[in-house]
A and B are shown apart, each in its own frame.
Chain A
Amino acid sequence: RKEVEQDPGPFNVPEGATVAFNCTYSNSASQSFFWYRQDCRKEPKLLMSVYSSGNEDGRFTAQLNRASQYISLLIRDSKLSDSATYLCVVNTNTNAGKSTFGDGTTLTVKP
Chain B
Amino acid sequence: DAGVTQSPTHLIKTRGQHVTLRCSPISGHKSVSWYQQVLGQGPQFIFQYYEKEERGRGNFPDRFSARQFPNYSSELNVNALLLGDSALYLCASSPRSGGAYTQYFGPGTRLTVL
Chain B residues within 8 Å of chain A by Cβ, number: 32
Give the number of residue pairs across the A-B interface with Cβ within 8 Å. Answer: 79
**Which of B35, B55, B103 gathers most chain A CB within 10 Å?**
B103
Q: Would you give the shortest CB distance from B90 to chain A, in whole angstroms?
A: 6
Residue B24 lies at the interface, judged by CB distance under 8 Å to chain A: no
29 contacts between A and B (CB under 8 A): A34-B102, A43-B90, A46-B104, A87-B43, A91-B99, A92-B99, A93-B98, A93-B99, A95-B99, A96-B31, A96-B50, A96-B99, A97-B32, A97-B49, A97-B55, A97-B56, A97-B92, A97-B94, A97-B97, A97-B99, A97-B103, A98-B45, A98-B99, A99-B35, A99-B99, A100-B45, A102-B42, A103-B41, A104-B42
Task: Closest B residue to A97 by CB, please name it.
Answer: B48
Residue B112 lies at the interface, judged by CB distance under 8 Å to chain A: no
